[in-house]
Amino acid sequence: MSALSSDNPAYSSGILSLLPLYYVGWADSILSPDEVKLIRDKVNQLDFLTITDKRQLIKWTNPSNPPSPELFRHWISVLRKQAANMPKGLKKDLITLGLEMAKTSATDQEVLKWQTQEAKEALESIEQALGIRHSQSLQTIFDEEPEQEASFEVAALKELLDDQYSKTREQMRTLLSDSAFNIETIRDKEEHRQKVLEWCRHLAQRGLGALSYPEVYGGKNSMGDYIAVFEMLGYHDSSLAIKFGVQFGLFGGSVLWLGTKKHHDKYLADIGTLKLPGCFAMTETGHGSNVRGLETTASYDPETDELIIHSPRESAGKEYIGNALHGKMASTFAQLIVKGVNHGVHAVLVPLRNEQHQVLPGIRIEDCGYKLGLNGVDNGRIWFDQVRVPRENLLNRFGNIDAEGNYSSPIENPSRRFFTMLGTLVGGRVSVPRAGLSAAKTGLTIAIKYALKRRQFAPKDGAPETLLLDYPSHQRRLMPLLAKSYALDFALTYLTERYVNRTEEDIREIETLAAGLKSYSTWFTTQTLQECREACGGKGYLTENRFADLKADTDIYTTFEGDNTVLMQLVAKGLLSDFKKSFHDEGFVAVLRLLGDRVSSTLTEYNRFFTRNTAIEHLSDEDFQLDAFKYREKKLLISVSQRMQRYLRKKIPAYEAYLRCQTHLLALAEAYIETLVLEQFIKVYKNIEDPKLKTVLKRLCDLYALSTIEKHKGWYLESEYMQAPKSKAIRRLVTKLCRVVREDASLLVEAFDIPKNCLAAPIAF
């Protein structure tokens, strides 16, 4: 049988039905061993193929002897001719094309064999397994974008992402779609600040700022709804999100969580309506993230029953304080000194301006000026010069001064009191990454929508140019980020649930989760927006297409609410403390468990079958993926513990030992958070009942898991957890998953349901 004799080759009807799949399968990439095995198994099961057909088709699956370039050119000629002659109304896909081709050389009896539903399903299973439903090679065949069917219900995925706060999210979508919230490019900071203040008032008038406050003060006692609003604002102008968070979350939250009923009754209702704008004055120029080292003092004067707030030096000025220019009052964090004793950092309400908005005596406020981004937020610096306020202004939930001038606290240990106080304010670290993720989703939506319209370069003269998203390099850039955005969404939903339902027993664990996820997620936002900007080329550089502001406004997320690097060190310290505590609490049992874990790890490391296993079923198994993540986390935890112990035995000071292990600690914290994210993704998709939606989420989960393992492949190879063949197989599978997820990319970003007013970028429409 000659394959090259004419435009009508003497192929049987059975071979012609599979020819489109073979062409695209080989054109997309070298077939992996698992794909070869799958095709051969399917071919042997097809009843409509003759023995001769099967031999020929199996011969064409030989990776060491792939189809020649000459044969490829012939195949595309045959396929393009048939595609051009397909009857109108027929769906343009590989299966339909194959069946139409088969008709040209089939007898009536043969048609009965291969035009059954079973035969069609068999061909579809090969197509699905190869991940070629939407390949750049299809465009070469059809000269236009092939028709695609939705593989899942977008509404069902949107409902999953909206979680239990869907009503609030829909309210926000309606509000942000109003013309009053049209996004504008405003480069004058004063004008931008006034617009943001106006937007903030709109939100306050609708009760959205007070959502986390008790009902008696105009709220709904729902921190979950407040966080949902903050997350939705991340799709809009980030200056608004931050202004909203400072006023209602930080300023109002400090009064709610650090104050007592007298403060609630006096201030909360006005804070919630924005009648009393205020700020959260914690950070200082000289100490940054070191809150315990703040220099501002609040000294009690028993003669007048007042607190004297003072900045002892220029470096004690409060730095980067949002709402400093619009605010009338500040929750000011200072060292509380009573009868000459420093009781540590406490918060005091300090009025800043009078009713005419004039700065009060003893207070100096300076505008921070223009910043890299967030110029709609009125950041300022504040200094206090012997400013007196009533003793009642001390937010006294955790530390009180009575009428006789005596200090008392329900928490005697100063260190525990300090961390308990900060723990009540962890809501910011829960909220910020959610708004940051919204910005990343916005960037992904713009970049993917653009890549589904923008064409560049043609496979040959006269053929349509190739869509950007059909280039494997473009898929590799964007699809892992899309998968990770879903992974982080589910992880942050888990964190929110834990935070909203927190108890005193688990608050420290929640603080660790919040610190880690805030860091990991906001770093992701920065990375994603840069990649999306580049993926849109020069169009992405235009202000109108939003990347300029998205990038500039969210860049600060990596260093406020805690510098990410510092926060990740806190995560690692918490893991080490828990590790150490398990030995104290469980003694010999903990030692046996550790030894058991190490023996198990050793068996895994040196099991040649495991370290070299390249089967797709194995690599796609969540047990393998989760084991790989946990193995990395556990081994890093054990090794850094051992290093610390060695340094301490050598009499190296604890602080220096910690510094020597600093980069190791950061790797440990990253491994811990990545494991948590994967655990939550697996939990979510396994609970989905809709088989179509479950399949899509499983692909995304696989892509997140395997691309993360690929990122750390050097570590895994050094640790002998895997060998080179397995590492290569993971790389191939990630590339394939990028191609498969690309099929659903449009629907996956549609499920975010970002209001058009917020998306705004012309290239997205």
Amino acid at 690: D
Instruction: Tell me the C-alpha distance between 315 and 682, whole Å.
Output: 48
Q: Which helix (H) or strand (E) holds 329?
A: strand 329-338
SS (H, E, C) 126-186: HHHHHCCCCCHHHHHHHCCCCCCCCCCCHHHHHHHHHHHHHHHHHHHHHHHCCHHHCCCCC
Q: Are 379 and 323 in contact (CB under 8 A)?
A: no
Cα 270 to Cα 228, 352, 384, 391, 716, distances in angstroms: 22, 16, 25, 21, 56
Q: How far is CA 502 from the centre of its chain?
A: 23
If residue 44 lies in a helix (H) or strand (E), which one and from where to where? helix 33-45
Burial class (CB in 10 A: 0-12, 13-18, 19+), 254: buried
Distance (Å, rounded) from C-alpha 192 to C-alpha 198?
10
In angstroms, rounded to a whole number, what is the distance separating the alpha carbons of residues 761 and 439?
Answer: 13
**What does the alpha-carbon distance between residue 502 and residue 495 come to, in Å, rounded to a whole number?**
10
- Pair of tokens at residue 730: 């993971």
Parallel/antiparallel/unpaired status of strands 297-301 and 329-338: parallel
In contact, 737 and 131? CB cutoff 8 Å:
yes
The bridge status of strand 329-338 relative to strand 278-281 is parallel
Number of other residues whose CB lies within 10 A of the CB of residue 313: 10
* Helix, strand, coil % in the chain, rounded to nearest 5: 60, 10, 30
Half-sphere exposure at residue 560, Cβ-oriented, CA atoms within 13 angstroms: 23
Name every residue whose Cβ is closer than 8 Å to that of residue 585 and which is 6 or more positions away in sequence: none
Active-site residues, by number, are 561
**Token pair of 521 as six digits:** 């997620």
Which residues have C-beta within 8 Å of that of residue 759, sequence separation ≥ 6?
Answer: 235, 442, 445, 446, 546, 765
Residues 744/169, Cβ–Cβ less than 8 Å: no
Radius of gyration of the chain (CA): 31
- The enclosing H or E element of 603 equals helix 588-605
Rounded to 5°, angle at Cα 229 from 225 and 232: 135
Amino acid at 183: I
